[in-house]
Amino acid sequence: MTTQPRLFSGMQPSASSLHIGNYIGALVQWRDMQKTHDAIFCVVDLHALTVPQEPERLREQIRRTAAQYITAGIDPTESTLFVQSHVPAHAELAWVLNTITGFGEASRMTQFKDKASRQGADAASLGLFAYPTLMAADILLYGTNHVPVGDDQKQHVELTRDLANRFNSRFGDTLVVPEPVILKEGARIYDLQNPEVKMSKSAANQNGVVFLLDEPSRTAKKIKSAVTDTGREVRFDRGEKPGVSNLLTILSSFGGQSVAELETAYEGRGYGDLKKDVADAVVSVFEPIRSRALALLEDPTELDRILADSADRAGVIAETTLAAVYDRIGLLPRTRR
């Protein structure tokens, strides 16, 4: 029986590769925190269905996402690493949470508003609207204490806390109220071609998105073509110099030097030097992750076994919470006398 705090987090398999924002904002924290936590990492495939997906590609993307977790440093012998749809309790608890979530409350979620406005409000699905309650179910099923995520997920974790508190006050103490864990630097990486907006897997122009599984030469090219700003000085200033500031954040996350130290190191040097160093740093970290992931995917038998074993483990925990929730809200247990 472990006494470590429980960690839960996940990523959507909504592209054929994770990107540098996912890596810095979430994966690096996951890798570090798995040492001090009883950690559960999920490939949230049901969430990916909230926008249209092509079935064959989705299947491939689910495996690719899991492979990148492993080769970026998630140890499947230490941590649980599974696919959300393999544990039916996620969808079941989400339904219960839907019944205690206000329509207005769900309408205020900024990610829903953004995605719905991009698709046109009428094209947005009910699933997209209910996305945050499924995410709350993911977290609450496992008695999660800590949820390491990027800045864009903060509002969803806040909603999860509200729902846990609401459930507990209506039906008695049942659910653990989780805390988000968000980095001070690197919680939001911006698009290299448009450093005013968050880097996103679904960006229309992929030149601003650095993917873990991109070929190293492509990664270097994208970074060297990053939009910088007028002026020459390498200085962190989100308002005046969003492009340079983004590159400094990335380099700081990869090289271990603080942004202030980097500003001093680049005194009297230009943007070209900065870009080259960022490209070298990113390629040297991503290249081995990429080649190991591609090797692992060549024969997915081992990966599928890891995912199946982990789903069994996760399922036991999830079923226990779901049974407690069903009992509290007055559902009948399925028993034979």
Which residue of the set 35, 113, 115, 184 is catalytic? Answer: 115
| Per-residue contact string for residues 119-138; x = within reach of ligand TYM by CB under 6 A | ----------------x--x
| Residue of this chain nearest to ligand TYM (CB atom) | 25
The 3-state DSSP class for residue 211 equals strand
Going from the C-alpha of 171 to that of each of 7, 94, 319, 327, the distances in angstroms are 25, 16, 18, 10
Q: Is 80 in the site for ligand TYM (CB under 6 A)?
A: no
Nearest-angstrom CA–CA distance, 118 and 115: 5
Select the span of 2-10, 114-122, 256-264, 267-275 touching ligand TYM (CB under 6 A): 2-10
Q: Is 180 in the site for ligand TYM (CB under 6 A)?
A: no
Q: Is 37 in the site for ligand TYM (CB under 6 A)?
A: no
What token pair was written down for 90? 């996620």
Three-class secondary structure assignment of 121-173: CCCCCHHHHCHHHHHHHHHHCCCCCEEECCHHHHHHHHHHHHHHHHHHHHHCC
∠149-154-155 over CA atoms, to 5°?
Answer: 145
H or E element that contains 261: helix 259-265
Q: Which residues pair with 241 in a beta bridge?
A: 237
Select the span of 9-17, 72-80, 101-109, 164-172 touching ligand TYM (CB under 6 A): 9-17
Q: Is 317 in the site for ligand TYM (CB under 6 A)?
A: no
Inter-residue contact 19 to 199 (CB < 8 Å) = yes
The answer for residues whose C-beta is within 8 angstroms of residue 323's C-beta and 6 or more apart is 333
Q: How far is the CB of 152 from ligand TYM (least distance, A)?
A: 5
What token pair was written down for 116? 């719905």
Residue 272: phi and psi, rounded to 5, are -60, -45
- Which residue lies nearer to ligand TYM by CB, 228 or 249? 249
Figure out which of the listed residues 92, 105, 152, 287 binds ligand TYM, where binding follows CB under 6 A. 152
Figure out which of the listed residues 7, 17, 22, 128 binds ligand TYM, where binding follows CB under 6 A. 22
- Which residue lies nearer to ligand TYM by CB, 25 or 76? 25
115 is annotated as an active-site residue: yes
Q: How many residues bind ligand TYM (CB under 6 A)?
A: 26
Q: How far is the CB of 334 from ligand TYM (least distance, A)?
A: 28
Q: Is 189 in the site for ligand TYM (CB under 6 A)?
A: yes
Q: Is 26 in the site for ligand TYM (CB under 6 A)?
A: yes
Interacting residues toward ligand TYM by CB under 6 A: 8-12, 21-22, 24-26, 44, 47, 135, 138-139, 147, 149-150, 152-153, 156, 187-189, 198-199
Give the catalytic positions in this structure.
115, 198, 201
